[in-house]
Amino acid sequence: MKHPMFTEEHDMFRESLRKYVRKEIIPHAEEWEEAEFFPNEVFRKLGELGFLGAHWPVEYGGGGGDFIFSLILAEELAKSGMAGLGMGVGVHIGMATPPILKFGSEHLKMRYIVPAAKGEKIAALGITEPGAGSDVAAIRTTAVKDGNAWVLNGTKMFITNGIRADFVMVVARSDPSSKGHRGISLFVVDTNTPGYHVGRKLKKVGMCSSDTAELIFEDVRVPLENLVGEEGNGFKQIMWELQGERITSAASNMARAERAFELALEYSKQRVQFGKPIAAFQVTQHKLADMIAMIDCCRNFVYNVAWDFSKGNYPVKEISEAKLMCSVLGFQIADMALQIHGGYGYTHEYEIQRYWRDLRLPRIGGGTDEIMKEIIAAQLGLKDIK
């Protein structure tokens, strides 16, 4: 059932993107997963074809489309069998760059968004630290004004695109004397700046095709004009960014879950046990019915939330609900799909194991299950009860 938010233009975009993914990305899945890295050329090709900036303003190299185009990109890359690739692209267009478009100066937009739309410059987002994950207000990376520059010192952890990034959107404390969410600002940092180092590449359980790193800032001098928006307003700015990120995360989770379902359905029709395909057994049929019911319900809820968000609304409770449920149920569906595959599902011979591993991260990244529940509870007024 097609959702009414999708126009003919959206459908054409999806079909074109799907053809590209099938031809240019899926055939390399095993190779890039094994290498734990996909080529930077993927960014350039996606940019050249107009996929990266389809939802960005034309004056900054984009296609002038709406938020729904980024949702479609997330869904189609999610079905490639390499969630890490989708995550790397998602960070580039949906996490690190939106604050520049929303709050940045014209100078920053021309310098970073235009080449980002072409895939010529790759972006990363530096929020998480060794001691500050879900608690964003606890970040310790500092930015001190010194003459014509901000001087950054600190460490960021679990940074997607950390190895390959040309620039990083860094969340830092610009007022070291402040506490909590106050005194935090956003900065665009070029990775060729002296004092910027990649500490180490992190080896992960899943999302293997993406590069994830620890970043170290040692007296990194950042031009004053690379401050994004107002000084001290960074916490609100990054909280705004997280809303779009969580919607696309929810959508991609359901797309991966749908692919896991398709793999399980295909396998159940082929795998013979006790003289007949396991799809003929009622227990398998009911499991498959549960899976597709969860997928359809969650996906349509996400679409409704995305549609509302694309109109300029800010439904925080519903976004948090979508992120929570699609993360939890996405992994549950992948687990059910692997169970249908039996022992073969636990081997690298079958694709399902990648979806099972990859669908575990969304319950942590972009806001843990627990943080989503805290937000929902706050929106219900429960935090005011004493």
Point out the residues that are catalytic: 245
Q: How far apart are CA 143 and CA 151, in angstroms?
A: 5
Q: Which residue shows structure tokens 């072409």? A: 118
CA dihedral angle for residue 358, residue 367, residue 122, residue 21, rounded to 10 degrees:
40
| DSSP string covering 222-240 | EEGGGEESSTTBHHHHHHH
Q: How far apart are CA 237 and CA 229, in angstroms?
A: 8
* Closest of 196, 199, 235, 202 to residue 218, by C-alpha: 196
CA 1 and chain centroid, separation: 26
- Residue 111: which residues within 8 A CB-CB, separation 6 or more? none
Judge whether 20 and 49 are in contact, CB under 8 Å: yes
Judge whether 136 and 103 are in contact, CB under 8 Å: no
* Closest of 89, 99, 166 to residue 127, by C-alpha: 99
The two tokens of residue 28 are: 């390399």
Q: Over 23-62, what HEC string results?
A: HHHHHHHHHHHHHCCCCCHHHHHHHHCCCCCCCCCHHHCC
For residue 138, what is the enclosing H or E element?
A: none
Judge whether 192 and 168 are in contact, CB under 8 Å: no
Q: How far apart are CA 174 and CA 145, in angstroms?
A: 8
Q: How far apart are CA 381 and CA 66, in angstroms?
A: 32
Q: Residue 64: what residue type? A: G
Q: Distance between the two ends of the chain, CA-based, in angstroms?
A: 45
Question: Residue 197, class by beta-carbon neighbours within 10 Å (0-12 exposed, 13-18 middle, 19+ buried)?
Answer: middle
